[in-house]
Structure 1
Amino acid sequence: MRILFLLLALLLPLPLAAQTTTPGNTITVGSGSASDAAIATRIRGILGQLDGFDEVRIDVSNGIVTFSGTVLDATRSARVEEIANRVEGVVAIQNDLVASTDLGERLNPALERFQDRIEQLIAFGPLLLVALCIAAAIVALGLFLGTRRQPWDRIAPNAFIAEIYRMILRLVFCIVALVTALDILNATALLGTILGAAGIVGLAFGFAVKDTVENFIASIMLSIRQPFRPNDLIEIDGDLGKVIRLTSRATILLSLDGNQIRLPNSTVFKSRIVNYTRNKERRFSFEVGVAGDADLAAMRTLAEETVGALPFTLKQPAPLAWIERIGDGAIFLIVTGWIDQEVTSYARARGEALRHVKAAIEAAGVEVPDTTYRVQLLGNALQVSETHEDAPAPAPMPAQSTAPRRPDTMLDPDTVLNPVAVEDAALERIVEAERADTGRDDLLSHDAKEE
C-alpha cells in the first residue's frame, strides 16, 4: 500500500508541468494615443519622401494602421504595407487603398520617365557620339580588309572559300565594334542580352532554312574536295552529262542531248557520282547473239580476236568475251574491249566493234539470229509475224545464201580515232562557251585536291 501511495505522489505533478507554456510574441499593453500618433507621423514622413503616395490617408488606432485613398497601381499598395510593417509599434494593417483611374495621374509618371530618359540621352550625347565613331571606324577597317583579294585568295583553295574567310572577318570586326561601343558607354551588361537574343533568333532561322544551310555546307565541302573537273563526263543520281561549273548553290551539267541540268549541291554531295573521264582507259561492252548450233568456244575466240585486231582497242587489258545467257532462238555473248578515251570516241568505238564482230560471225557461216517474229498468211499456211494488221503483208523473204559472207572490215578513222569526235567536240564547245561567261561564279579549280 505504501508503494502505491508513493507512485501516486510521483505522477500527480506531471499534468501540471505539461500545462505550463512559454509566452511567445505578444502585443504590447502600453499603447496609447501618443504612440498611435507617433506611428502615423513616422509613416507619413516616409511616404512623403516617395513619389506616388500623395493621395494616401493614414489612421492609427491602438497600433492598427488603416490605409485609405488611391495609388497608381497594386505595386505601390504592396509597398505601403511593406513600409508599415517595418515601423515599431504597428500591430496590424488594414489596407483599403484602390488603384487610381485618373488618366492624368497614370500618364504623368510615364511622361516623367520619358523626359528623364531624353535628358540622360542628351547628357550622354557626346560620349555616345564618340562610341559610334569608334565603332564605325572598326567596322570600316573590317570592310576594307574584307574586300581585299590578298591574302585570302592565296590561303584559300578557291574563290568561294576566300569569300567565306572575308565574310567571317567582317563579322568579327562588327562584333568587336559592338563590344567596344558598349564598353565605352559602360553598358557591357547588355552584351549578354544581345548575344542571347541573337542566339535564339539564329536557332529559329536555322530551323527555317535548314535545306539552304545544308546546301551551303555541301557547297563548301565540294569546293574543297572536288570530285570532278570541267568537261568531265559524270553521272549523278541517274543524270548523265558533262560538267559545266560548280556554283555556290548547284552543279551545272550539260546532258548528251545538249540540255542543261542543274543539281543542288546537297544532292550532289550525298549522291553516288560516277566519273567516266577521270581514267583515260575505259571498257566498252555489247551483246551479240549466235545460233544455238554454233561452236560457242570458237565464236567466243573469234569475237575476242576481232575486237583485239581493231586499231583503236588496247592490247592491255585484252578484249574478253563470255557466254551470258540462252535466249529465244539464240545464245548471247558479252564482248568487251578497252580504249583510250583521250584519242578515241567511246560511242563510235563500241559501234564499230559491234559491227566488225557481227560481220566476222556471219563470215564464219554462223547466223546471227533475228528474234523478231512475224505472222504471214500464205495460202492455207499460218506464219508468225509482228507486222501491224493495217499494214500490207511483206514480200516473201528471199532464200538466204549458204555461202559465207566476207567480213566487213571498213573502218572510218576520222570518226573513231580522231581525238575529238564530232559529237564530243560539239558538246565541249557548248561547255567552253558556258564557262567563258565570267559573270557567273565557278568553284572548280585545277589546283584543288582530288578525291
Structure 2
Amino acid sequence: MRFVFIFIVSLFMALAVSAFAQDLSAGDEALQTRLTAIYKSTDSLSGVTVAVENGVVTLSGEIANSELAKDAMEIAKTQDGTVYIQDQIDRTLVGDSDVGEALTGLQKDVSDITQALPIIGLALLVFAIFFWLGGVVANLQKFWRKIAPNPFLAELLSQTVRVLFIIIGLVGALNLLGAQAMIATILGGAGVVGIAIGFAVRDTLENYLASIMLSLRQPFRQGDHVLIGEHQGKVMRLTSRATIMMTLDGNHLRIPNATVFKAVILNYTTNPERRFSFALGVDAADDPVAAMKIGLDVMRANAFVLDKPGPGAVISEVGDSNIIIKFTGWVDQTSADFGKARSYSIRGVKDKLEAEGFSLPEPIYRVKLDNLAGTELNIPSDQTPKPKSKKPAEALMVDVTPDTTIDTKLEEELSEADEDNLLDDSKPTE
C-alpha cells in the first residue's frame, strides 16, 4: 500500500512540473514574440534579435551606437516575464554617449593622478634617497677593504650592498603607492629572469665564482713558475675572469679561472730545491755498482748539485744488452738553472763512464742467417773490456746560473700594465 501511495505522489509531482514547464515555455515564447514585434516596428532597433529562455532575455544583432543599445535594454526590462538581460549587441558606430563616457573616464583619471601627485612625489623621493645612500655606502672603499682585504671581494660586497639599497628603495616606493601586488609580481619576475640569465651566462658566472675562490685561496704568486694542467709558464696576474701567464717562450697565455680552479696545479717556485733525474745504460758485462759509484762521484764534484739532499743512483732496469742506471740529484733553483744542471750532469757522468772504460751500448739485435755454409764472417777477435781508470772525478766548470730573460720580460710588462691584479703577496697561500 505504501508503494502505491509513493507512486501516486510521484506521478502527481511529475504532472505538476510538466505543466509548469509548459507554462514557462509558453511565457518565454510570448515574451520573445512581443519583444521582436516591438523592435521590428522601430527602424533604429529593427536589427536587434531576441532569444528568451527561462526568463533570460538575450539581445544580439547590430545597431548604430551604445545609446540605442541602452534603449533596447530598457524596453526589455519593462516587459513582464523578464528575469535577466544579456547584452550581446554589436555597436557599429561610436555615439556621442560613448565619447562622453570616454571623456568622463579621462577626466576622472586625470583627477585621480592629480590627487595622487603628493604621494607619487614622496615615493620618488624615497627611491632617490635609497639610491643615493647605496652609492655613498658602495663608495666607502676603505671600509670595504677592512671588511674584505681582497680587492675583488671588497668590490663584490660594495656592489651587492648598492643593489640591496636600490631594491629596498623600490619596494618602499611601491608600498607607499599601495602597489603591494606589483611588488610580488616584480620580485617573482626578477626570480624567473634571474634563473634564465643564470643558465644563459653559466660559464661567465662559473669563472666569476672561481675568481673569488682563487683570490681567497691564493694558490700561486705573481712570477711563480707553475704548471696548470698542460700549460706551463710564469704567472702574470689573476683577473676577474682569467689567469694570465707568460709561457717559457715569451708568449701570453690566458686560462679561464674556472679551468684553473678545477685543474691540477704544480708550483715549481714554492720549494726552491728541485730534483732532476736521468738514466744511462752500461754494458751488461760491466759492473753496475762501479758505474754507479763513478757517476755519484762526478755529481758530488759539481758545485751546483746539493750535498743535502745528496745525489743518488739505482739500477732501474736490466735490458737485453745493457743495465739501466737512474741517477738523481738536487739543485737550488734560486742559484742554478734546472735544465742546465741536468744537462751538464748527464754529459759529465756519460763522459766519465766512457773514460773509465764503460761502454754505453745501443740495443743489440740477434739475426739468424740460414744456408751460409762456407761463408766467411769477419768477427773481431779483441772482445776484452777496456781497463778501468782510477782517476778521481773532475768537477765541470760550467755556467748554470738561472736564465732571467722571462723574469725580465715579465717585470717590464707588469710595470706597463694597468689591469687589476687579484693576487696579493701580503696574504698567505694555501
TM-score bracket, normalised by the shorter chain, equals 0.7 to 0.9
The aligned residue for residue 68 of structure 1 is 59
Alignment correspondent of 1:242: 234
1:427 maps to a residue whose letter is I
Q: 1:110 to 1:429 in 2, by over 3 A?
A: farther
Describe how 1:127-138 pairs up with structure 2 within 5 A: 127-138=119-130
Whether contact under 8 Å (2:358, 2:386) holds in the other structure is no
Kept in 2: contact 1:321–1:333 (CA 8 A): yes
Aligned counterparts of 1:272 and 1:410: Cα–Cα separation in 2: 38
2:297 paired with 1:318: no
Number of residue-to-residue matches in the alignment: 379
Structure 2 runs not aligned, ≥5 long: 32-44, 64-79, 366-375, 379-384
Q: Give the one of 410, 426, 437 matched to 2:416.
A: 437
- SS for the counterpart of 1:151 is helix
Q: 1:337 aligns with which of 312, 324, 329?
A: 329
Residue 407 (structure 2) aligned to one of 428, 437, 450: 428
Supply the distance in 2 between the matched residues of 1:160 and 1:291 (Cα, whole angstroms): 61
Which residue in 2 is equivalent to 1:141? 133
For residues 108-123 of structure 1, the aligned pairs below 5 Å read 116-123=108-115
Distance change in 2, residues 1:341/1:128 (3 Å): same
Q: In the aligned structure 1, how far is the partner of 2:46 from the partner of 2:142?
A: 72
Determine which of 271, 278, 283 is the counterpart of 2:275: 283
Counterpart residue number, 1:40 = none
Residues 98, 59 of structure 1: CA spacing in aligned structure 2 closer, same or farther, 3 A cutoff? closer
Question: Structure 2: which amino acid aligns with 1:352?
Answer: Y
Amino acid of the structure 2 residue aligned with 1:123: Q
CA spacing shift, 1:59–1:360, aligned 2, 3 Å: closer
- TM-score, structure 1 normalization: 0.72
Structure 1 unpaired stretches of 5+: 1-11, 38-53, 73-88, 374-380, 384-400
CA distance in 1, matches of 2:265, 2:168: 43
Q: Match of 1:352, SS?
A: helix
Matched residues in 1 for 2:336 and 2:413: separation? 25
Q: Which amino acid aligns with 1:433?
A: E
Equivalent pair of 1:312/1:349 in contact (CA under 8 Å): yes
Alignment-derived partner of residue 97 in structure 1: 88
Q: Does 1:169 align with 2:161?
A: yes
Distance 1:210 1:176 in 2: 27
Distance in 2, matches of 1:104 and 1:182, equals 39
Query: In angstroms, what is the RMSD of aligned CA positions?
Result: 4.1
Amino acid at match of 1:68: L
Q: Is the 8 A contact 2:297 2:393 kept in 1?
A: no
What TM-score results when the alignment is normalised by the length of structure 2?
Answer: 0.75
Alpha-carbon distance in structure 1 between the residues aligned to 2:356 and 2:314 = 18
Structure having the higher helix fraction is 2
User: Structure 1 residue 411 and structure 2 residue 390: aligned?
Assistant: no
Shift in Å, 1:230: 1.0
1:447 matched residue in structure 2: 426
Matches within 5 A, 1:21-420: 21=10, 64-69=55-60, 95=86, 97-102=88-93, 116-326=108-318, 329-369=321-361, 409=394, 411-412=396-397, 415-416=399-400, 418=401
Residues 127 and 13 of structure 1: CA distance in aligned 2, closer, same or farther (over 3 Å): closer
Q: Secondary structure at the match of 1:366?
A: coil
Q: Which residue of 2 aligns with 1:16?
A: 5
CA distance in 2, matches of 1:106, 1:408: 119
Are the structure 2 counterparts of residues 409 and 111 from structure 1 closer, same or farther at C-alpha, using a change threshold of 3 Å?
A: farther
- Does the 8 Å contact 1:58/1:66 carry over to 2? no
Give the letter aligned to residue 323 of structure 2: I
- State the distance in 2 between where 1:69 and 1:450 align: 83
Q: CA deviation at 1:315?
A: 2.2
Task: Name the CA distance, whole Å, in 2 between partners of 1:233 and 1:324.
Answer: 30
Alpha-carbon separation, structure 2, partners of 1:294 and 1:220: 60
CA contact (8 A) 1:283 1:339 kept: yes
Identity, % of aligned positions: 36
- How far the C-alpha of 1:366 sits from its partner, in A, is 0.6
- Contact 1:290-1:331 at 8 Å conserved across structures: yes
Cα pair distance change 1:63/1:446, threshold 3 Å: closer
